[in-house]
Amino acid sequence: GESVGLHLPTLSVQEGDNSIINCAYSNSASDYFIWYKQESGKGPQFIIDIRSNMDKRQGQRVTVLLNKTVKHLSLQIAATQPGDSAVYFCAEKVLGNEKLTFGTGTRLTIIP
């Protein structure tokens, strides 16, 4: 989920289990949302996106759910692997607008 200050929310999951990372977005006009994965020492990497005309979108082992009523976004990762350990960010924007607003991130740790 979201957080203010210096400490990222953390989530620890046993390898092979499913994980759910949550994000509350801020702008009710946002119509495009992205989840990024950032491994230590690297730049953010695209995972999956969703437009506001959808409630759910699936990729390989990942699913994004969008609830516009409560401005909530979630990322589900199935059958987690050690390589899934990273910080996950949600980002929102209005299509056509240059500004992409990032959430503060959640640190996911996979326990072997």
Partner 1 sequence: NAGVTQTPKFQVLKTGQSMTLQCAQDMNHEYMSWYRQDPGMGLRLIHYSVGAGITDQGEVPNGYNVSRSTTEDFPLRLLSAAPSQTSVYFCASRHTYAAFHGETQYFGPGTRLLVL
Shortest separation between residue 13's beta carbon and partner 1, angstroms: 21
Note the residues at the interface with partner 1 (CB under 8 A): 3-8, 32, 34, 41-46, 49, 51, 89, 91, 95-105
Which residues are CB-neighbours of 42 under 8 A, at least 6 positions away? none
Q: In the complex, what is the shortest distance from the CB of residue 14 to partner 1, in angstroms, rounded to a whole number? A: 26
C-beta closer to partner 1: residue 96 or 112: 96
CA pair distance 38, 46, nearest whole angstrom: 9
Residue closer to partner 1, measured from CB, 53 or 112: 53
Q: How far is it, in rounded angstroms, from Cα 45 to Cα 26?
A: 22
CA distance 26 to 33: 12
Nearest CB to partner 1, comparing residues 16 and 59: 59
CB of residue 50 vs partner 1: minimum separation in angstroms?
9
CA 94 to chain centre: 17
